Amino acid sequence: MKATIENAKGKMTKSLNALDKEFAAIRAGRANPAVLDKVMVDYYGSPTPVNQMAAISVSEARILVIQPWDKSSLKLIEKAIQASDIGINPTNDGNVLRLAFPQLTEERRKELCKSVKKLGEDSKVAIRSIRRDTMDKLKAMKKNSEITEDDLKDCEKKVQDITDKFCADADKAVAAKEKEIMTV
């Protein structure tokens, strides 16, 4: 019974962590190395993340510097960034790549806020789905006479409280990311 609730709590935490990762990849006008997390480079025949091939640093508020450890991979990294959905063309000076993040327009900020809200809603749907699965497990335990009716009611209340807390945390994360995006 307790293990079932703890399992649900762990899954809900993973759902929130996934939301945070998604938010990190959304560029909000500032240089953030996390935007390159999903960019894969075809390096000697195997897809390799950029952050495993180069040192990535923020040199100024809106400039990301990518310094590959192997100079021969510079062109490969440049092509992978151009092929990705980041929407920024890197400048290549022969030693490093620079990504200059442009200032976001008001329209683009609103689009980003919509996608942030959608990601937050998807996260809350996942959390509620975990709640439903947990409730089903608890009801099955009650049906098999593993727990009493009172235990079932107590557990349902605990699971609902945990779900409410995680949904509120998702809402807070969405609000914080929206504020970050809308800050000029």
Q: Give yes or no for a contact between 67 and 51, defined as CB atoms under 8 angstroms apart.
A: no
pTM: 0.72
Q: Kindly report the CATH number assigned to the domain that includes residue 65.
A: 3.30.1360.40
C-alpha torsion 43→48→52→56, nearest 10: 90
**Are 38 and 13 found together in one domain?**
no
Total domains in the fold of the chain: 2
**Are 51 and 95 found together in one domain?**
yes
**Are 112 and 95 found together in one domain?**
no
Q: What is the pLDDT of residues 72-101, one digit of tens each?
A: 888 889 888 888 877 788 888 888 999 888
**Are 57 and 120 found together in one domain?**
no
**Are 161 and 95 found together in one domain?**
no
The parent domain of residue 70 ranges over: 33-100
Distance CA 176, CA 119 (A): 13
**Are 90 and 126 found together in one domain?**
no
Which DSSP letter does residue 141 get? H
Domain final residue, candidates 74, 100, 126: 100
Residue with tokens 């980003």: 112
Q: What is the pLDDT of residues 126-162, one digit of tens each?
A: 999 999 999 999 999 989 988 888 988 999 999 999 9
**Are 92 and 50 found together in one domain?**
yes
Quickly list DSSP for 41-89. EEETTEEEEGGGTEEEEEEETTEEEEEESSGGGHHHHHHHHHHSSS--P
